[in-house]
Structure 1
Amino acid sequence: MTTADRRSLGAFVVASVLFGGTFVAVKAGLAYFPPLLFVALRFDIAAVALLVYAAATTPRGQLLPRTPRDLAGVLATGVLAIGVTNALLFVGQGYTTSAVAAIVFSLNPILTPVFAALVLADERLSRRGLVGMALGFVGVALVVNPDPATLFDLGIGKAILLAGAVTGALGSVLIRWAGGSLSSTVRTAWGLPFAALLCHYLSWTAGESARAITWNAEAIAALAYVGLLAGAVAYVAYFGLIDTAGAIRANLVFYAVPVVTALGGWALLGEVVSQLAVGGFVTIFVGFAVLGSESIDVRAALCRLRDRAVDSADAIDVDDPCLDVESD
């Protein structure tokens, strides 16, 4: 495994773990905050933290957007991938459970290849990739195991969450399309103020008021988590992953999120992990393995394994399909 591969894996783990607690923290915080004001305050905190971090760790000449593509990447990050997506997530989750929200948002990796096929020339899914993507989604469904009657009863909450999954997928693809010279950290740091301003405006137009906030320890903990950990830190990891691994593979984070949530509930809260959920873990792992095998010539590998098991003195079958592999 190369250094770049290790960094991508590390970013995937960090984003998965921190995003894994988001649905629980959002559900807890909505008891104390109006939804759009909650997400706006989240981005206020994340923007300040990440702008300070970017200023301290980035050379001055690399801090400002300089090209139209830089600006396009900042807007795609702040307005779509972060701002609108999270506004829809926070509002939509007020109408449904964390489990249903997690599975609806897990449509994000399925939607991403659709937009990538329209916008990106270098990101396409093969048939093997589609199989891996489908297995991952089935695994998420097994882990979350929502009530089918509730899941398939399309209501306003799930419609809003689905719209959030669409904007998140589109935003990640447009970030990849924009490219630009900014690092993912700087691009995200500039995008967060746009997300905060957008959500404050939406909160104001919705008639929300800061007087409706109930301040207590749980409210502060929920806001700190979504602002600093699932905000600034997780966004650096996730948007960096888009740059290095591509939008399609980066959004597989949303398949790992329900696994992290379930394991965290088991480890920290004593929640029971069902046999169905364990089967879901395995299914998601198989889906990831299938996706990861796209760079491997499976037919050639099987032929090499067979050749090791067959005695070299055996007669050669002229109809052997492995002869075609060897001659390629």
Structure 2
Amino acid sequence: MPLKHSALAVVVMVIWGANFVVIDEGLADVPPLLFLSFRFVLVAFPLVFFIPRPTAGWRAVVAVGAFMSLGQFGLLYVALDLGMPSGLASLILQAHVIMTIVIAAVVLRESPTRRQAIGAAIGTIGLLVVVIAHDATAPVVPVLVMLGAALSWATGNVVARRAGVASGLSLVVWSALVVPVPALILSLVVDGPADVGRAVTHLSAVAVASTVYTAIGASLIGYGIWNSLLARHAASAVVPFVLLVPVVGILAAWLVQDEVPTVLELVGGAVMLLGVATATVTRTRRAEPISPSVPVESALPTR
């Protein structure tokens, strides 16, 4: 892949890695599910009036939006609101790669290669170390919610794979329509009309900037570049750049929020990323991963 395109891939990883801190900062003023609704309104409108509908059927588009956007990001926002460290969240979400391999093997009968199976095993061990290490210093509930976010993303990947949904900006935009209304209704039920009304009428500059960054930067610009790279190069050349997301996420959380993971969390994270790398970094197309070829945001991923 040319140096220019590699640089663009790195830029996207920086945008996505910093996204976790940006979301966390915005949640200080807005309930998580209401904030999610704001984000996907901006992702969908006004582009939905100008971008053609995906060639996939409505059921596939709705399913992708439900799992990849509503499920994944709804649980991510809730986990961050419950106190999940943003840097660690960027790491745990990468578990979706391992989960996708397992779910695809069960549901789609796609037998993983030996390399993918080894990578999934290594990644699972690393993930368990991270969970145990975090549980020793903080409540484990946010971690479990984050694992739910990764599972939702992985499920969406398999749904998209089964339906033959191609990665594209149209899918990101049209599947975003699934999110705003359910997220708003859930926020009204969970947070109450009074808190929702107060948040809407007292939006801070940080909340507005965070919404713009996550919607336009992470979703539209990030996936516009990402999808163009996947269209020009083999997935095996592009996908490994995703491993930079948790590195950027942890660094951004350290610089902005003074979040310092424990040594055991870092060790577990390193083992987990080694497993993900083993499963995804290949020299041939034959062992290309399923998940990262589908946008994170619609995705995405977003993820």
Cα distance in 1 for partners of 2:285, 2:161 equals 25
The question of whether the paired residues in 2 share the 8 Å contact of 1:18 and 1:234 is answered with: yes
TM-superposed CA distance for 1:51, in Å, is: 2.8
Cα distance in 2 for partners of 1:159, 1:205 equals 22
Which residue is equivalent to 2:60? 73
> 2:45 aligns to what SS in structure 1?
helix
Which residue is equivalent to 1:211? 198
RMSD: 4.3
TM-score normalised over the length of structure 2: 0.71
> 1:21 aligns to what SS in structure 2?
helix
Post-superposition CA distance 1:237-264 (Å, at most 9, x none): 5677899877x99986764321122344
Question: Are residue 229 (structure 1) and residue 214 (structure 2) matched?
Answer: no
TM-score normalised over the length of structure 1: 0.66
Question: Are residue 30 (structure 1) and residue 7 (structure 2) matched?
Answer: no
Q: What one-letter code is carried by the residue in structure 2 that aligns with 1:23?
A: F
The question of whether the paired residues in 1 share the 8 Å contact of 2:234 and 2:285 is answered with: no
Cα distance in 1 for partners of 2:126, 2:115 equals 17
Which residue is equivalent to 1:199? 183
Post-superposition CA distance 1:16-53 (Å, at most 9, x none): 3222112211211111101111010000111125436x
Which residue is equivalent to 1:310? none
Post-superposition CA distance 1:38-75 (Å, at most 9, x none): 010000111125436x53xxxxxxx2356xx4323311
Q: What one-letter code is carried by the residue in structure 1 that aligns with 2:40?
A: F
Question: Are residue 175 (structure 1) and residue 160 (structure 2) matched?
Answer: yes
Cα separation, partners in 2 of 1:23 and 1:170, compared to 1, 3 Å: same
Which residue is equivalent to 1:115? 103
Cα distance in 2 for partners of 1:154, 1:46 equals 32
The question of whether the paired residues in 1 share the 8 Å contact of 2:12 and 2:222 is answered with: yes
Q: How do residues 283-298 of structure 1 correspond to structure 2 at under 5 angstroms?
A: 284=273, 288=277, 291-293=280-282, 295=284
Structure 2 residues not aligned, in runs of 5+: 287-303
Q: What one-letter code is carried by the residue in structure 2 that aligns with 1:168?
A: W
Q: Alignment length, in residue pairs?
A: 278
Post-superposition CA distance 1:70-128 (Å, at most 9, x none): 3233112211101121111111211122234234323211111111113335x543222
The question of whether the paired residues in 1 share the 8 Å contact of 2:87 and 2:252 is answered with: no
The question of whether the paired residues in 1 share the 8 Å contact of 2:100 and 2:154 is answered with: yes
Of all paired residues, the percent bearing the same amino acid is 29
Cα distance in 1 for partners of 2:89, 2:262 equals 22
Which residue is equivalent to 2:117? 130
- Tell me: higher relative CO, structure 1 or 2? Use CA pairs within 8 A at least 6 residues apart: 2
Q: What one-letter code is carried by the residue in structure 2 that aligns with 1:204?
A: L
> 2:136 aligns to what SS in structure 1?
helix
